[in-house]
Amino acid sequence: MPQPLTWSSGLVWNAPSAVWNGFAVPATPHTMTNDNKISAAIAAQAKTDILAAFATIRTNLPFLINLTPEEIRRMPTIGTARGGMSTTFQQEMAAHPDLVPSYVDMTEVEKDLVLLEDLDELASHARELCEAIEETRHAVGSDLYLAFLSFYNNVAQAAKRGVAGINAVYENLRRYFRRGGNTPPPAPPPNP
């Protein structure tokens, strides 16, 4: 038999199962499939294996360096705008060794050409993987945001209606939904 509608029944005033002067049929929880783009989990062993694979990659590339943004800006390099430059210069330098300055080490040039080609191939695979990870992370963040927003909206309605004890919850959540500006929310107060 349906139960009487009470303030703690979990229904809101415009819920399809809310009935005035009658009994409410218990609402069945459902997931809004269009709000859930990703439903997956990474097994603990898989995560361990993936992190080990990243460590292996890093170990096999011990010469990798990090540059500051200023160093990157100041350093001339071969980019996509200079496509084919490596091949053209390699051919011309090989065809005209008498014009190569004596201080240019051709053994190092050949070594750098091979390394650049290898790094381009690795970077291409890494970019594909990073792009997929970032886009999946973005979709998961969207799923969470929509769920959090739905909860927040219910809490806001409860606070607006004067539900006892809900103001602290509302104040704790509303800092994430302030209008205007993209400043990060302040840190939550320490738990007493």
Tell me the pLDDT tens digit for each residue of 82-124: 778 999 999 999 999 999 999 999 999 999 999 999 999 999 9
Tell me what percent of the residues of the chain surpass a pLDDT of 90.
Answer: 66
Distance (Å, whole) CA 41 – CA 38: 9
Which pLDDT belongs to residue 84? 86
pLDDT band at 4 (very low <50, low <70, confident <90, very high): low
Which pLDDT belongs to residue 78? 87
Q: What is the mean pLDDT of residues 10-19?
A: 57
Q: Identify the residue with better confidence: 45 or 192.
A: 45
Which pLDDT belongs to residue 82? 78
Asked if the model's pLDDT at residue 160 lies above 70, the reply is yes
Which pLDDT belongs to residue 114? 94
Which pLDDT belongs to residue 178? 84
Which pLDDT belongs to residue 183? 59
Which pLDDT belongs to residue 179? 79
pLDDT band at 58 (very low <50, low <70, confident <90, very high): very high
Selection from 137, 139, 135 nearest residue 127 by Cα: 135
pLDDT band at 24 (very low <50, low <70, confident <90, very high): low
Distance (Å, whole) CA 38 – CA 142: 9
Distance (Å, whole) CA 156 – CA 147: 14
Q: What is the mean pLDDT of residues 166-175?
A: 94
Specify the long-range contacts of residues 87-93, CB closer than 8 Å, at least 24 apart.
Answer: none
pLDDT band at 35 (very low <50, low <70, confident <90, very high): confident
**Domain map of the chain by residue range?**
1-28, 102-192
Q: Identify the residue with better confidence: 192 or 170.
A: 170
Asked if the model's pLDDT at residue 55 lies above 90, the reply is yes
Q: Are 170 and 154 in contact (CB under 8 A)?
A: no
Q: What is the mean pLDDT of residues 67-80?
A: 90
Distance (Å, whole) CA 6 – CA 28: 16
Evaluate if pTM is beyond 0.75.
no
